[in-house]
Chain A
């Protein structure tokens, strides 16, 4: 097995953030269930709100991902950082529900932390200025939450450099077709900036598979040049040929399925669908529904963060025994939550709903 594959399997992206479609679905269902269980007790038994379904949550996350992309473009952030922020945002909402933490806030936090993770130190205040009614504190309030939500995996592997590599290779192989390659390059890059971020491509496929799928969308023949059939005619005869052919078939099948996933969200969908007034309008009922069923205790990240900080500082003053039990050192997160809840009760909606 190629060592490059082994190395990819050591990455946090593979270890922590790659799933089969089934397990991803299970995780999302579980997150949705847990959120409902937590929010339900806050309503009277006869006044239970209608909760979002996992499918509706996904739609909202998708919508807010386009908002994030637009915000990043507005702030003129480089492509890689924009993509990292989008991936962080989507990872966060696999283990956290949209009903628990407000996506409008996490979106800005993802942008800020995306910059930091990529070593691009934008001033917090400068970023806050870019958004209406946004303070530095608001952006920062969700930072730790986001980091925990993404399992402290800050390195995201994108397909952009892979594309540059493939294009160099194609230029070498097809020196007389510069125009065609340049065109494919530009189109594939546009796809990579959008389609894998709006779909689950990053959760199911490797960066090189995503890159190949984007090329497949624009010029199938180029992929055939890069992954030629039976070109590896080894000297050891048919035995290796057989397994190579099998492997190739598997690779092609994987790339094909990645392509069909990404084709659901081609880059033109941004203008023709996500940004249209009709779409924004059609999402209104869903957002209304969200406002009615969300976790009011945790919708205000700033207050939540303050309560946590306060609690942490009071906790530090506790007497330090000679031998501390684990419980004392690590704390019991459950009663922590209760304290915070009590503190926040009655402060509901002080800051109004987001947006």
Chain B
């Protein structure tokens, strides 16, 4: 049965969304498509990626520079749709692939920051830099970047319509989940963090509303606005990162040299929050945060953390003994003994003793009963709520700890009121 040639040209469009994305990513070098002919990517013997798809249709204006042509070509691959959300940092639009309208994307247009007079905002630079490099099922994928003519940056991101983990945690009236669901979500989060660290990237802003949910239930780590590469020895880093409730004690004490352990602490606090369905240590300010850590986990001292008292801003409100296993079992018992063990290891006060992301993946909890829920069976909110939430999450200024405090905390307090 012969198909019309008109139909066959769009055959790739009938693939699943994810497959489309993969094709896109594999050929995402328009340079290669433009430099026609040459069969090899480079002389070092590395194979050339899959062939470029047919050109997008219209021929490009010959008056453009090569760089502009390539930009136009990227831009034309997508059609911008309705606005999902707008903030001071970015506007988020729904969009779709021109060649395959069923393949939806989110287009995040970063606004020019008037108050920042030093050019492109550092958070946009960081976000782009790291998303360009990290491709993993549990990390939001950057499908394309292009500039619109008013010199705004447009990030084409995969469309994640089911909101974020925060809204599932908060909606205690309508959303029910259990130990197997927590295990599945934690597995996805841990793999995302492991992959970042494996690529020498610190995320530095892990929290439930940065964990977005794809249509198939897969959790994706988003918002790399505070990320950075691992620093070389002796090059210090800022300690003013990670939203306060998820910030580890070493950063609260002003450590300038730190490691992937800072992210692992955040993962631990998200783990606890998934179980309690409320933030575990919601401090009102930094001192309060330290106090809560001392009360909930134990006071950092030279005994449990050699050297801690020499950190630049070490202050503790009083001496609390380190909490024992029984104490954790009482509060977090629903994830079982093995789950509690993993939680305790992520919340180790001493970052050198804290479990690493790789060790986390090797922990026995993943193999103990119950098995993690399959991602299609995970609890979810409906798509309309999720879409708005995605708009809200993506438009947010990355890692703005101060901003976060004004708006979001009020909302959270109201949430608690309902319980």
What is the interface of chain A, defined by CB distance below 8 A to chain B?
Answer: 5, 7, 9-12, 14-24, 26-27, 30-31, 34-35, 37-38, 92, 94-97, 100, 112-113, 116-117, 119, 121, 123-124, 140, 143-144, 147-149, 151-155, 161, 203-206, 209, 250, 254, 257, 308-309, 311-312, 315-316, 326, 329-331, 333-334, 336-337
Contacts and interface: CB of A to CB of B under 8 A. Distances in A.
Contacts, number: 179
B40 A20 contact: yes
Interface of A: prevailing SS: helix
A315 B46 CA distance: 46
Interface in B126-177: 126, 128-130, 132-133, 135, 145, 147-151, 153
Contacts of A21: 43
Given A19-B31, A154-B132, A206-B44, A95 B75 contact: no
A232 to B, nearest CB: 18
Contact of A330 (B75, B120, B126, B145): B75
Interface of B: 28-32, 34-46, 49, 61-68, 70-72, 75-76, 79-80, 117-120, 122, 125-126, 128-130, 132-133, 135, 145, 147-151, 153, 199, 228-229, 232
Contact of B132 (A12, A140, A308, A337): A12
A147 B302 CA distance: 48
A4 B269 CA distance: 32
20 contacts: A10-B135, A12-B132, A16-B31, A19-B42, A20-B39, A94-B31, A95-B31, A95-B66, A117-B129, A123-B118, A148-B67, A152-B153, A155-B229, A204-B42, A205-B43, A312-B150, A330-B80, A333-B61, A334-B63, A337-B63
Taking each of B31, B41, B80, B153, which has the highest tally of chain A beta carbons within 10 Å of its own beta carbon? B31
Contacts of A155: 129-130, 132-133, 229
B151 A308 contact: yes
Contacts of A331: 148-150
A149 B148 contact: no
A312 B148 CA distance: 10
Contact of A336 (B46, B66, B149, B153): B149
Nearest to A338: B63
B119 A116 contact: yes
A322 B13 CA distance: 28
B43 A257 contact: yes
B64 A334 contact: yes
B43 to A, nearest CB: 5
Contact of B44 (A34, A204, A326): A204
Nearest to A337: B63
Contacts of B199: 7
Contacts of B75: 330
Contact of A148 (B71, B150, B228): B71
